[in-house]
Structure 1
């Protein structure tokens, strides 16, 4: 079986994930100054993924069982509350909030990106190209553009695409290797990604950035692990990412992984490292709190 075949098996969209027998989903909060993360939710009923932090700092938004959920971090309602979106197909773990915190953009199981109010209601489809998968990861700081991974064939590498909602798409050249996780720096000058373009080793993703609008890839760190999903804090001082064991293809679930926190002036030296069972769903989207002191991630312990 080829590397492309393996990636296709791991990344082809399927019906929403569910917990295995005896498995739990744990939502944690960590940070640059938190040696021990804080557990804010544990459930054996719903496999939740990919937290976004609300602009007011009071809630997390996660996908689970094909829909979006709100998890309030303050007050008397600590459980998951479904967000009542109408006309939305099942969603996956690629979703981002608008800079003003009022809307959410979501990648759905039909391959398209949708937009809706964060409180719920009708949604509208913002992509028009059928026969293409749009895996959303970033929104520009001014809220006018979306960055996503464009795929037409799951046996082929993902490509970096930038679009205006309801507008045309621009493809940026990032080399031949698979690319994922594109999102803007807070100042809008850079797009941060993980890419396999630096190596011929199958699946060996590394963290990188390129100028907004396109340009050469700049490798941020060289590592033996397979590194995915760089997310910068709102002040740009820190970043998170997730490291898979060497030899991992794609970003599969239920592996021994590490969630890392670094200063953006030293990507090679983690300030914090959280080890857990996870991978897919743990840290797919930017999950920093607006104060830049905390971020959320998900583990999936077994037994």
Structure 2
């Protein structure tokens, strides 16, 4: 489900906007004629670092969401959406109607009644739709594309997403029923990955505006942006925990261009304590694109779901 990424061009310490990642549905950059990709869908305890496998499969899958009832994970694979019990088992295909090119930007409403997807079936450009959690006909929310969903406000009323308009990728919000979109970021460079704090006051996001990809947050109207990470790594996709104590994100090395989050990289899943600012490594893994693109916290804030990858030997 991956799309060719437009390279960021360096201008001094800043970078121009580019397409936010390899997200084209139904395609994978993790291809090798002599080896077979294996996806490892798993969860990790953020305190003990205990890891539990939910599914090992020779199919490329991405971007788990944890359902609000705590019982299942939802993920995408080959343009479709699946649900699997937390204890493992046979994945269930979710009926998404005409939407057959779903990329790795999807999620679940706070009350668990609705799903949101970013899909490219209509005209090849990613658009955002909602549908019932049990499956059904998608309803278009964003008439313009490309638009990539990332966050649902805790009150259920607003969607946050990354979108390209007039050559620049920024963060936008829109009512969950559709309507006028609101642009929240205007800085030079790519802004991506918006996700709401559990109280709805803040939107966390990643931005390349300082020259490397770092984690930021702002008020939910786009005001008062604040940089949270300042390291040499390139940090993507911040997800605050339901209890408001933590933010989990994925970190690429400084050798990866700041505006890209490719697959097949050695990356770190990292956790920030929002009170102290301390950051610790939860896991070092082979992955990147598809590992933790969307919110994946357990409802009790104890575990995070993610995907790592490996290749079988020829």
Q: Write the deviation string for residues 201-227 of structure 1: whole angstroms up to 9, x where unpaired.
A: xxx200010111121320112111000
1: distance between equivalents of 2:48 and 2:161? 31
Q: Is the 8 A contact 1:150 1:158 kept in 2?
A: yes
1:213 maps onto 2:221 in alignment: yes
Distance 1:107 1:266, change over 3 A: same
- The aligned residue for residue 136 of structure 2 is 121
1:16 maps onto 2:16 in alignment: no
2: distance between equivalents of 1:275 and 1:117? 35
Q: Write the deviation string for residues 260-287 of structure 1: whole angstroms up to 9, x where unpaired.
A: 12322233431x4201100000000010
More deviation, 284-293/172-181: 172-181
Q: Is the 8 A contact 1:31 1:261 kept in 2?
A: no
Aligned pair count reads: 291
Which of 83, 86, 95 in structure 1 is aligned with 2:97?
86
Distance 1:3 1:149, change over 3 A: same
Structure 2 residue runs of 5 or longer lacking an equivalent are: 1-5, 11-15
Distance 1:12 1:234, change over 3 A: closer
- The aligned residue for residue 34 of structure 1 is 48
1: distance between equivalents of 2:218 and 2:17? 24
Distance 1:274 1:13, change over 3 A: closer
2: distance between equivalents of 1:144 and 1:10? 25
Which of 114, 117, 120 in structure 2 is aligned with 1:103?
114
With normalisation by structure 1, the TM-score equals 0.90
1:11 CA drift (Å):
3.2
1:15 CA drift (Å):
4.4
1:71 CA drift (Å):
1.0
Q: 1:56-67, aligned counterparts within 5 Å? A: 56-67=69-80
With normalisation by structure 2, the TM-score equals 0.87
2: distance between equivalents of 1:231 and 1:285? 8
Which of 279, 289, 294 in structure 1 is aligned with 2:298?
289
Distance 1:12 1:43, change over 3 A: closer
1: distance between equivalents of 2:164 and 2:188? 14
2: distance between equivalents of 1:54 and 1:291? 11
- The aligned residue for residue 204 of structure 2 is 192
Quote the RMSD (CA, aligned, Å). 2.1
**Aligned with 1:158: secondary structure?**
strand
Distance 1:116 1:244, change over 3 A: same
Distance 1:31 1:89, change over 3 A: same
Q: Is the 8 A contact 2:17 2:189 kept in 1?
A: no
Q: Is the 8 A contact 1:32 1:238 kept in 2?
A: no
Q: Is the 8 A contact 1:174 1:217 kept in 2?
A: no
Q: 1:1-303, aligned counterparts within 5 Å? A: 3-4=8-9, 11=21, 13-18=23-28, 20=31, 21-44=35-58, 46-74=59-87, 78-109=89-120, 110-129=125-144, 132-152=145-165, 156-165=167-176, 166-199=178-211, 204-249=212-257, 250-270=260-280, 272-303=281-312
Q: Write the deviation string for residues 135-190 of structure 1: whole angstroms up to 9, x where unpaired.
A: 1000111111111111147xx54111111131110111341121110011000110
More deviation, 185-194/84-93: 84-93
1:92 CA drift (Å):
0.2
**Aligned with 2:104: secondary structure?**
strand
2: distance between equivalents of 1:196 and 1:123? 33
